[in-house]
Structure 1
Amino acid sequence: MDLRETRDRLGAFGVWIAPMTLLDTPVSVQREQFARVERLGYGSVWTGEPPAGAPASGREIFAQLSVVLGATRRLVAGAGIANISSRVPTTMHAAAATLAEAHPGRLVLGLGGQPADRPITRLREYLDAMDEAATRLLPDIRYPRVLAALGPKAHLLAAERADGVHPFLQPVEHTEIARKSLGPGALVIPHQALVLDSDADTARARLRAILNIGQRNVETPYSANYRRLGYGDADLADDRSDRLIDATLAWGEEGAVARRLRDHLDAGADHVLLHPLAGSLTAAVDQLESLAPRLRPARS
């Protein structure tokens, strides 16, 4: 599909909010804060959802995105990601197409969360079934589809069957790799965790606290990709090395964080998602407000 309108709507910078943060925030407060994000000049709000069968740690993603869309006039709502293990392909397409019809040009559907067994094959089969459903259900409704693709095989699938990629918690060098893998036409929308704090130990501890929830010394698709990027056992063990934390977390004062965000743009990103590691939605938007003056010149 023609992605020019999507790029224009997104601009350079958007926002990623953790599902648990939104679960803990009343919808009335969400509406206020999403409208505030829009006034600050960001182009999108994204969130994800937990794996199928996991303890409740987020709202149903399409219902949540409808809150974003209803509270704002131009913001794009992004699923980063909608879990393919949580709903059948027909339901995934029908939900996305309904939101896209109700809010034309304001939805990007990110897909991921496939089982560890044959993940690329499982995702390809899921996309096949979605495309078949789209021939029968709301066939005239279009929306961009991006994949949570990290490695070369996933990038190849994204180039063949999607409109781009949404890498999560990756260094800037991965953004460059993704752009080269997918070519100039695809969307590259990386996530960037950030902490506005110039104390190294405090800032790094924010990300380590998240990574250590069920992931301490556990090999994950993220671990495999970090290894592809040159990080070894010492970087991935225990609390992760400072080197790996600093590569995946933007921290410091506003200028330092803004430079990291622009590094992703220079590496080929279309749109960079800011994820403040703050204690509440309001606190996260406070940090976004502090950063906004540093980012406005880079918006497309």
Structure 2
Amino acid sequence: MALDTALGTIGIWSGALRVDGPERLGEVGEAARELEELGYGTLWIGGSPGVHQAAHLLEATERVTVGTSILSIWTYEAADVAAQYAALAPALRERFVLGLGVSHGKLAERYARPYSAMQTYLDGLDGAPVPLPASQRLLAALGPKMLELARDRAAGAVPYLVTPEHTAQARERLGAGAVLAPELKIVLDTDPARARATAREFLSLYLALPNYTNNLLRLGFEEADFADGGSDRLVDALFALGDGNAVRKRVDEFLAAGADHLAVQAVVPDQRNAPLPRAQWRELADILPLKG
């Protein structure tokens, strides 16, 4: 099955799907099975997960694709990633997609020459005893050079913190044959001020990371847009805010701009300490085009 078909139209992105210890295996496995039954095509694990963490979700489900979004090349060695992929049962391997990226200088001590480092990392995946094939890997590409590498050395791109305008530019750079699967944050709240406050609370972390702000500057935003958690213009561009109709409109804008798949992230107040947002996932399942 082609990767764009395997991903489906809509997936769920969540750092809460990452399991670091046995105490949450049951809870997260149950949530993964519900997401599969709701019709989401892919479960994206946030927070630089490893293949071993994707394995938990693969084992808990039967059909859904499971991806890392994103695995940091500074945290996991290419040889180890390929070996863990090879150790998966063949049926689970078929449902796995490796989303990988160069992370950020503030988060990775070894960060240096990210483009060259990614090339070397892909060489390592290709040269492993059991290669992790280009057809099952996507790069967290934002700028032109990394997008071209995603086109040439992977199945496509999984951009994070982007707009429909970036999606259109990425599609042009990737060409028609590559997979484009951006992420979109959603706040289901019909009070505009409260929805923006929730978005700003979550966005503030990312506005301290130059890889993201540099990309936003390329898209026409200004330094002033990054102050105080983000201007209204920036927040409204990066999030889908409001009721079901407003959210569906934003999702359709990404798909019309050239996305094959959209990884949606339900954002709630105090997101980093929140449980799995299962009520929001259920509500989104009734709003979004899960069946294509």
TM-score w.r.t. structure 1 length? 0.86
Compute the RMSD of aligned alpha carbons.
2.3
User: Which runs of 5 or more structure 1 residues have no equivalent in the other structure?
Assistant: 51-59
8 Å Cα contact 2:13/2:43 also seen in 1: yes
What amino acid is aligned across from residue 6 of structure 2 in structure 1?
R
Paired amino acid for 2:256: D
CA distance in 1, matches of 2:132, 2:162: 35
> Which residue does 1:290 correspond to in 2?
283
The equivalences for 1:17-32 within 5 A come to: 17-19=14-16, 26-32=24-30
2:80 aligned with 1:91: yes
* Correspondence 1:1-300 to 2 at 5 A: 4-19=1-16, 26-50=24-48, 60-99=49-88, 101-114=90-103, 116-133=111-128, 137-139=129-131, 144-213=136-205, 218-278=208-268, 279=271, 280-282=274-276, 284-296=277-289, 299-300=291-292
TM-score, L = length of structure 2: 0.88
| Local SS of the residue matching 2:47 | coil
3-state SS in 2 of match to 1:14: strand
Matched residues, number: 281
- Per the TM alignment, residue 211 of structure 1 is displaced from its structure 2 partner at its CA by 2.8
| Counterpart amino acid of residue 98 in structure 1 | A
Distance 1:150 1:288, change over 3 A: same
Distance of aligned partners of 1:288 and 1:19 in 2 relative to their CA distance in 1, 3 Å threshold: closer
Residues 186 and 241 in structure 2, CA contact (< 8 A), matched pair in contact too: yes
Alpha-carbon distance in structure 2 between the residues aligned to 1:46 and 1:94? 21
Structure 2: 5+ residue stretches without partners: 106-110
CA-CA distance at 1:139 after TM superposition? 4.5
**How far apart are the structure 2 equivalents of 1:19 and 1:113?**
21
Change (3 A) 1:188 1:249: same
Q: For 1:181-226, what per-residue CA distance to the aligned partner results, in whole angstroms no more than 9, with x for missing partners? A: 101111101101101001122112222212324x56x351000000
Q: In 2, distance between residues paired with 1:139 and 1:267?
A: 33
User: Residues 3 and 135 of structure 2 are in contact (CA less than 8 Å); yes or no, is this contact kept in structure 1?
Assistant: no
Give the secondary structure class of the aligned counterpart of 1:85: coil
**Identity across matched positions, percent:** 37
In 2: Cα distance, 1:10 partner to 1:88 partner: 25
Alignment match, 1:53:
none
Q: Per-residue deviation at 1:61?
A: 2.7
CA shift in 2, pair 1:90/1:17, >3 Å:
same
